[in-house]
Structure 1
Amino acid sequence: MEVFAKVADLGSFAAAADAADISAAMVGKHVRQLEEHLGVRLLNRTTRRQSLTDAGRDFLDRTRIVLAELEAAEAIAADGRARPRGELRINAPVSFGTYSLSPLLPAYMAENPEVTVRLTLSDRVVDLIDEGYDCVFRAGPLHDSSLIARGLRPLNLIPCASPAYLERHGRPRHPSDLARHACLGFSGSALEERWTFHGDEGEVVVPIGSRFSANSGHALRQAALAGMGVIHHAEELLADDLASGRLIRVLAEWRSERPLHILYAPDRRITPKLRSFLDFTTSRFSRERGS
């Protein structure tokens, strides 16, 4: 099962063989024996690459769960001071994962040389258990109470627009002015329908109209650069454009944040690799550290 999972992740017998430190022929033997045992084909084979069948995709999801439970069982039997080791599977939102998390991962991996990191970036809400992740980052309000959540420093959201857009439509002076502007909503979230600001007046919630919306911060950024409207997104994504003047910040005296948490399963023992990453993450993204 471990060999099969490596083939699925890496796409070829040769790459899996290198990762497992065995021959490609032995990788093929493991997969064939697994298919014979199950009575189904798990992989479609070509001369250069292997792809999952439908049965293989379903089996891979359950394989990840079994391997995670096996690793947890081994960790229980090991010394509590065991070094973090093994594969750590993480999921994070695209903008946060690209601009905030990824730059810190080399430091984590240097501190934990026996841990292999598999980072998946997606703005959809993944199923941590069924998809076999050790932990996931989630931006926005939490709705799933079955997972354990650690609160991290909120994401700082910046409203801004291109100079050309502001020249044509004027600059909003108060959050309520956004109702008269073209606002670029983040689809699939509350940010597609309303934006929340905090200032001297307290909390102000502004319903927005999104003639253009997208479930990608990069797509919204391109739209803002093209003068299509006001973007309201994480500071990390927009920092270079703000510094260069390609985008102009508006409503600078108002604060807007989005909650950020890291989540993991409550019914699975925290392995040394997961504990080390949770501690690393909370120290780097603690509320006390600030922006």
Structure 2
Amino acid sequence: MDLLRAMAVFVSVADRGSFASAAQAQRLSAVMVGKHIRQLEEHLGARLLQRDTRKQRLTEAGAAFLEEARLALEQVRRAETVAERLQDHSRPRGRLRITAPLTLGTHAVAPVVTAFLRAYPEVSVDLALADRMSDLIAEGFDAAIRIGPLSDSDHLVARPLRPYRMIVCASPDYLRERGTPRSPSELPQHSCLNHLLWHPNTGWRFASLGGEPLRLSGRFASNHGEALRRAALDGCGILLQPEVLLAEDLAAGRLVPLFENDLPPPRPVHLLYPRDRQPPPKLSRFVEAVMEAMGA
């Protein structure tokens, strides 16, 4: 049994509440997740999880073991950097594992990574893009870009980046055909392009309307921002999406911004990485690169 791997799987199951979710995070099958948990329980001689058909709950032994497992995984991560520090204190080398949200990662983080790779030829990077919260320690990531409020953590450093600004816009063809709305209150009379993952109480909020969510209708919705952008370019409706996704289209005039002084409030963005008095050069240089390119 790979004890460290089994511990990482257990922490992931405990954090996510199900084998299926942990399997996705750990890039394993649900069957393999179950095998790791069984082997770990046999090794410890104690039941760590109480299972039912839908969810797993920690037993008393599991709750006690969880915190110790977190500490052990963090200690292993720190130990792995010792050899790198001893080799060369100033020369970045080795592999970095980074996680970021899909849209921000594609349009803002990926260009930083490619420039970083050109500058440091002895570093390689795995960039995992997903719109979910990853556990840096349990999943072995060196750093993460996060959108939204953060919970307090003694184990992570959080560096603020430029806020995640949303833009409302439409194509010139749509506005010629349907007219240009002068305020958000006119949006219910228009065809709006909605994101399927947005809860009805989130997304389209404006200060001029007291921050209350707008109930909007439209003929097209998608779970992917790029598909919504494409629909807006083809004149299918009014779009609310991140500025980072739309910047080139706005600059080229393919999309026209609306309500520029009355937009949903921007969301905070942070770069997170494990707290370490002597981070390895590969991580230190990457943090510098991100802060230079995406910092406030």
TM-score, structure 2 as length reference: 0.63
Aligned pair partner of 2:121 in 113, 119, 122:
113
Counterpart of 2:180 in structure 1 is 171
Matched, 1:205 2:211: yes
The verdict on how the C-alpha distance between 1:265 and 1:184 changes in structure 2, with shifts beyond 3 A counting, is farther
Q: Measure, in 1, the Cα distance between the counterparts of 2:99 and 2:200.
A: 21
Q: Distance in 1 between matches of 2:126 and 2:34?
A: 18
- Measured in 1, the distance between the counterparts of 2:159 and 2:199 equals 21
Runs of 5+ in structure 1 lacking a partner?
6-50
Map of 2:21 onto structure 1: none
8 A contact 1:185–1:192 mirrored in 2: no
Aligned to 2:273: 264
Give SS of 1:123's match: coil
Q: What is the rounded CA distance, in whole Å, between the counterparts of 1:58 and 1:90 in structure 2?
A: 27
Residue in 2 that maps onto 1:277: 286
Q: Say whether 1:127 aligns with 2:139.
A: no
Of 91-100 and 268-277, more deviation after overlay is shown by 268-277
Q: Name the counterpart of 1:144.
A: 151
Matches within 5 A, 1:1-291: 54-55=31-32, 68-75=77-84, 78=86, 81-139=89-147, 141-146=148-153, 147-188=156-197, 193-196=202-205, 205-211=211-217, 213-254=221-262, 256=264, 257-266=266-275, 270-287=279-296
C-alpha separation in 2, matches of 1:58 and 1:197: 49
Q: Do the aligned partners of 1:185 and 1:191 also contact (CA within 8 Å) in 2?
A: no
- Paired with 2:35 and 2:152, the residues of 1 have a C-alpha distance of 26
* In structure 2, C-alpha distance between the alignment counterparts of 1:88 and 1:58, rounded to whole Å: 28
Q: Is the 8 A contact 1:123 1:216 kept in 2?
A: no
> Across the two proteins, how many residue pairs are aligned to each other?
233
User: Letter of the aligned partner of 2:80 in structure 1?
Assistant: E
Deviation at 1:164, TM superposition (A): 4.1
2:112 and 2:290 in contact (8 A); partners too: no
Larger strand percent:
1
State whether residues 170 and 235 of structure 2, in contact with CA within 8 Å, keep that contact through their aligned partners in structure 1. Answer: yes
**In the TM superposition, what is the alpha-carbon distance from 1:226 to its structure 2 partner?**
4.0
1: distance between equivalents of 2:172 and 2:284?
46
Partner of 1:40: none
Write the letter of the residue equivalent to 1:205: G
Question: Taking structure 1 as reference, are residues 196 and 209 closer, same or farther at Cα in structure 2, changes over 3 Å only?
Answer: closer
What per-residue deviation string (whole Å, max 9, x for no partner) do you get for residues 36-87 of structure 1? xxxxxxxxxxxxxxx966438987xx9x9787444234356x2783422111
Q: TM-score, normalised by structure 1?
A: 0.64
Structure 2 vs 1, CA of residues 247 and 126 (structure 1 numbering), >3 Å: closer, same or farther? same
Which structure 2 segments of 5+ residues have no match? 6-26, 37-68
Instruction: Give, in whole Å, the separation in 2 of the partners of 1:94 and 1:57.
Output: 29
Cα pair 1:183 1:230 within 8 Å, conserved: yes
User: Structure 2: which amino acid aligns with 1:145?
Assistant: D
3-state SS of the aligned residue for 1:153? Answer: strand
Deviations 1:220-262 (A, max 9, x none): 2123234443212222322333344442221134455332211
Asked if 1 retains the 8 angstrom alpha-carbon contact of 2:200 and 2:215, the reply is no
SS of residue matched to 1:171: coil
CA contact (8 A) 1:159 1:233 kept: yes
Change in 2 beyond 3 A, CA 1:184/1:57:
farther
- Say which is worse superposed, 188-197 or 255-264, in terms of deviation: 188-197
RMSD: 3.8
